[in-house]
DNA sequence: TTGTAGGCGTTATCAG
DNA sequence: CTGATAACGCCTACAA
């Protein structure tokens, strides 16, 4: 039997409602009684029952994090940790707690989210939008529940607040970087095409080539998972070609690492025999051998801004829809060489 | 205004309490009314209010994850992702949600935990026990609240259920492995000595040397953070010695990577000029150049068993204290060489 | 400035 | 097998 507001009230010789008001720091309570009540709280070691409070006030101060389907892939990627760190820091500043979904399939996650939302367990959601997630988003839009997505929503882009990089431009820039190094046989190794981020980056790559009057070749574009394994398969295909590429745009550091490993087994030297640029600039990029030139997309900020913006939405339901673009930056290391 | 149990009751022509019983699948309700009630729930799109349920039943089906202080270090380490994945999977199987602390300092985290516990927000806790955390643990023990720790508690080991590896033995084994390769100048690069895991591994290392009749040298033992940077500083010190070590036992893959990087800059070849074994066997170990020989400590299982065992404690308050040892395994790759 | 009373949506206890 | 009714602990009109 734990200490309730009534126990405090009794000890302080006031009504329970007064105690409640003191907790909320209601200005209409005299300083004197506030002091008395606070003393009683201390004495009894009182801590408010957050559940009861939530029930009465219909708000929880909890943020939900919706993991993408096939979460095992994301758990492997350092990207996730950094987003989480950003979310955590932001949530903490605004005194929100963080709760995450644990489901694996799309259906499980959908059910979990509905439970969270209808069950009143969270005040808002951050979607780690990986796959196209139609059903879930339309549900949330219809129920008018506060949420933001990290990445670009597959559709209804104009009606959903989202935090993203300008992936199109970033990809164009890295490709132009390679072009400036005199490469013209540049291949693209991407994640699943179901992901908007992959598409954006692919388009940026294509745009840069087209602007440079270089014909696009289908054989130069391959796809896989955001995992190290997929990099290995991809590179094999590319090197079998009659005119193998001299440079690679890889959409993820982890994949790039797989590529490099494979290349190494084939006795090709990255930064000499072949050039690589990749995306995300996680710790691995710096630690790779040779260190990878990579686009830093500021992952922490993606998370930080995401949490900040759901909270904005929660606290002001008429907060406008926003599209927040986190800046990126090319970090040049030594995985690329200038061609003569 | 959302659908409540009363609305369902009205539509199904029963009392609210009956609806509640149907939700709980109480066997004393006739199949027929169950069917009727369920139909009504479907029709109205009813979802139970979990907050209200929690208030009435005094249980939340939520697990709390207590992050270590200075969480930024752990966020950088792939170790964390894997533990989280294990926790998530286990929690999901038992239909528990997962909520994590977001505080940064020891004090903030303590306050957060007290709020969670007294506030009734979680049914149990998993402590990612990094630093010595006296105050928090004694609070939890005194309040008799269900919790387990991942790693070995600094004290009260016999009274706290914890999930750990046999780090002493693991360290002894890797050291013996190096000894078998004819190394006798073996150094130890460890994380903070405040961490029990570091101490255990150091002791194992020392034991192996002593058993082999090799004198311990203080200069051969250096410490840092569980971060890549600390590896760099550590190795510099060691190589300045008159008799620099020929082999290194490093307590974390990330640190080992830092070491390797530094070594590389100094034009020393790992696996030839110097041998390295490390701990954890995260993805990076496999991807390193050369691939790192590392002790696989089965991180996923640490998380999985942790969640499983708090839940056991929650559901049976008289569950005995347990010490669960997750098996480890030396994964030999190519970072070590046999000395002639 | 403070107290009273009703309600938040469930579950649990007791009757019947 | 089912229905009232009283908690659960807090918040918030409305009164005083």
pLDDT tens readout for residues B238-276: 888 999 999 999 999 988 988 888 888 889 999 999 999
pLDDT 10s digits, B101-139: 999 988 999 999 999 999 999 999 999 976 666 789 999
Residue whose token pair is 């020393």: B268
Q: Is the pLDDT of residue B281 over 80?
A: yes
Q: Is the CB of B30 under 7 A from strand C?
A: no
Which two tokens mark A265?
A: 């087994």
CB contact under 8 A, B283 and A228: yes
- Is pLDDT of A227 > 80? no
Q: Take residue A50 and report the two structure tokens written for it.
A: 């957050």
- Chain A residue with CA closest to B84: the answer is A75
For residue B340, the model assigns a pLDDT of 82
Nucleotide nearest to A18 (CA to C1'): C2
- Give me the pLDDT at residue A220, please: 94
For the cut 80, the answer to whether the pLDDT of residue A228 exceeds it is: no
Mean pLDDT of chain A: 92
Q: Using the beta-carbon criterion (under 8 Å), do B257 and A48 form an inter-chain contact? A: no
Give pTM, 2 decimals.
0.93
CB atoms within 10 A of CB A137: 20
pLDDT at A51: 96
CB contact under 8 A, A82 and B72: no
Q: Name the nearest CA neighbour of A58 among B55, B40, B101, B113.
A: B55
- Nearest C-alpha of chain A: how many angstroms from B206? 30
Q: Check whether A76 has a pLDDT greater than 90.
A: no
Which pLDDT does position B182 carry in this prediction? Answer: 96
Q: Helix, strand, or coil here: B232?
A: helix
Over residues A213-226, the mean pLDDT reads 87
CA–C1' A147–D12 (A): 28
Structure-block tokens of residue A250: 């890889």
Give the model's pLDDT for residue A1: 58
Give the pLDDT of residue A314. 96
Q: Which residues contact B51 (CB under 8 A, 6 or more apart)?
A: A51, A54, A55, A60, A119, A120, A121
pLDDT tens column, B285-314? 988 888 999 999 999 999 999 999 999 999
| Residue A162 pLDDT > 60 | yes
User: Given pLDDT bands bounded at 50, 70 and 90, which one contains residue B71?
Assistant: confident
Q: Would you say the C-beta of A30 is within 7 Å of strand C?
A: yes
Q: Which nucleotides of D are covered by protein (CB under 7 A)?
A: 1-5, 7-13
pLDDT score recorded for residue B192? 81
Q: Which two tokens stand for residue B23?
A: 């939700």
- Alpha-carbon distance of A90 to B289, in angstroms, equals 36
B80 and A85: CB-CB below 8 Å?
Answer: no
Chain C positions under 7 Å from a protein CB?
1-5, 7-13
Contact B130, B101 (CB under 8 A): no
**Contact call for B81 and A85, based on CB within 8 A:** no
The spacing between the Cα labelled CA in B134 and the C1' in D10, in angstroms, equals 33
- Rounded CA-CA distance B219/B185 in Å is 11
Considering all nucleic acid strands, name the nucleotide whose C1' atom is nearest to the C-alpha of residue A27.
C1
Q: How far apart are CA A168 and CA A202, in angstroms?
A: 8
Q: Are A221 and A251 in contact (CB under 8 A)?
A: no
Please report, in angstroms and rounded to a whole number, the separation of the first and last CA atoms in chain A.
79
- Protein B153 CA to nucleic acid D9 C1', in Å? 35
- State the smallest CA–CA distance between residue B245 and chain A in angstroms: 23
The pLDDT-based confidence of A293 (bands split at 50, 70, 90) is very high
């Amino acid at each position: 039997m734990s200490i309730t507001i009534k126990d405090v009230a009794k000890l302080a010789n006031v009504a329970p409602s007064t105690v409640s008001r003191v907790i909320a720091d209601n200005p209409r309570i005299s300083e004197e009684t506030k002091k008395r009540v606070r003393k009683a709280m201390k004495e009894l070691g009182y801590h408010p029952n957050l559940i009861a409070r939530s029930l009465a006030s219909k708000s929880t101060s909890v943020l939900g994090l919706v993991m993408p389907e096939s979460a095992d892939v994301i758990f492997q990627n350092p990207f996730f940790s950094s987003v989480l760190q950003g979310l955590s820091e932001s949530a903490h500043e605004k005194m929100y707690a963080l709760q995450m979904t644990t489901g694996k399939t799309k259906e499980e996650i959908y059910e979990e989210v509905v439970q969270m939302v209808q069950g009143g367990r969270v005040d808002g959601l951050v979607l780690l939008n990986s796959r196209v997630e139609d059903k879930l988003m339309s549900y949330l839009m219809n129920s008018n529940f506060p949420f933001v997505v990290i990445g670009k929503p597959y559709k209804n882009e104009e009606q959903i607040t989202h935090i993203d990089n300008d992936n199109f431009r970033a990809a164009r820039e890295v490709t132009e970087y390679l072009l400036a190094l005199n490469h013209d046989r540049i291949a693209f190794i991407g994640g699943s095409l179901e992901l908007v981020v992959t598409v954006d980056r692919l388009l940026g790559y294509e745009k840069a080539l087209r602007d440079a009057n270089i014909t696009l070749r289908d054989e130069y574009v391959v796809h896989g998972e955001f995992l190290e394994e997929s990099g290995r398969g991809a590179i094999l295909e590319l090197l079998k070609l009659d005119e193998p590429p001299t440079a690679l745009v890889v959409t993820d550091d982890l994949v790039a690492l797989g590529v490099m490993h494979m290349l190494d087994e084939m006795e090709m030297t990255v930064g000499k025999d072949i050039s690589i640029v990749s995306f995300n600039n996680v710790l691995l990029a710096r630690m790779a051998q040779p260190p990878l030139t990579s686009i830093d997309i500021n992952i922490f900020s993606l998370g930080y801004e995401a949490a900040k913006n759901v909270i904005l939405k929660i606290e002001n339901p008429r907060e406008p829809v926003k599209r927040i673009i986190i800046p990126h930056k090319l970090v040049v290391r030594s995985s690329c060489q200038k061609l003569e």
